[in-house]
Structure 1
């Protein structure tokens, strides 16, 4: 009887240890977080709360005038770019509580959703155009203005950007 109790206690201890490690991991490393990278990020851009950057759709982060205004402003800035392939360019970045943007990350795929690379000058020019947008409105939760992630996608077809969403 004593051996069974010891085995039960030992297995309970290991289970508690594993659960503690799992909970710690889940709370400290969320998939999709964009951490500051001194090699590519502007050191002047700061999140207001590093531990609490939410998704834009859960708190209402948007652009003044909505998606239509983003398209209108960006089309003029990137209308004359030529690409060597069709596909999608996705920018993910942070809109902080001060309505500033930073920590841009980009992913490109071809029409078959396989990773590819577009002209790096075009990628840089699109990012600079997004950075120049001044109508960002940080989202709120219970009257608290929060940092959030935002995503912009560019559809490239016939060597031109045909849609922004």
Structure 2
């Protein structure tokens, strides 16, 4: 009975650590690739290849980020950068995020999981991504985009790019 209880504890705790996967090439969030039958296969096409830069300026995104984080009522700490690289399907849906975290000297670090999750939650509210982009003979392309949050003492102070 004791072995069954220990086995149960181990299995139930696995879900607590399933949010991020850390491998030698980076840290990945536990998100799925959202595909659509209306979209082309997910080739490696970047947002600048299909002229799909987010149509809102960095200052507006920064203000929206601060408003979003204020509503969470969480406090954060740390200084550095949290960068998300993610797919956007042809319908403008974000998925399959890679997270890169560095300190102010660009050395790998880890911020609090709730901070990363809250920033990812904000990212999912950004709904003005270009839909149905085309490049050469590929119609309804999926594409990759990147956004970095510059953080000082737990506060987002800049959005890059």
TM-score interval (norm. to shorter): 0.5 to 0.7
* Alpha-carbon shift at residue 162 of structure 1 (Å): 0.5
How many residue pairs are counted as aligned between the two chains? 128
Question: Is the contact made by 1:81 and 1:160 (CA closer than 8 Å) also made in structure 2?
Answer: no
> Which has the larger displacement, 98-107 or 58-67?
58-67
Q: Structure 1: which 5+ runs fail to align?
A: 1-31
| d(CA) in 2 for partners of 1:154, 1:137 | 21
Alpha-carbon separation, structure 1, partners of 2:47 and 2:119: 20
Matches within 5 A, 1:55-134: 55-79=46-70, 82-134=75-127
- Alignment counterpart, residue 35 of structure 2, candidates 46, 59, 67: 46
What CA distance in whole angstroms lies between the structure 2 residues aligned with 1:73 and 1:84?
A: 19
The 3-state SS of whatever aligns with 1:54 is coil
More helix by share: 1
Taking the aligned partners of 1:87 and 1:104, their CA distance within structure 2 comes to: 19
Distance 1:81 1:87, change over 3 A: farther
Q: Which moved more, 1:83-92 or 1:59-68?
A: 59-68
Contact 2:42 2:142 in 1 (8 A): no
Shift of 1:76: 1.3
RMSD after superposition:
2.6
Report the TM-score, using the length of structure 1 for normalisation. Answer: 0.66
> Which stretches of structure 1, 4 residues or more, deviate above 6 A after TM superposition?
none
Q: Does residue 1:152 correspond to 2:147, yes or no?
A: yes
With the length of structure 2 as denominator, give the TM-score of the two structures: 0.68
Q: How far 1:67 sits from its partner (Å)?
A: 3.5
* Rg (Cα) greater in structure: 1
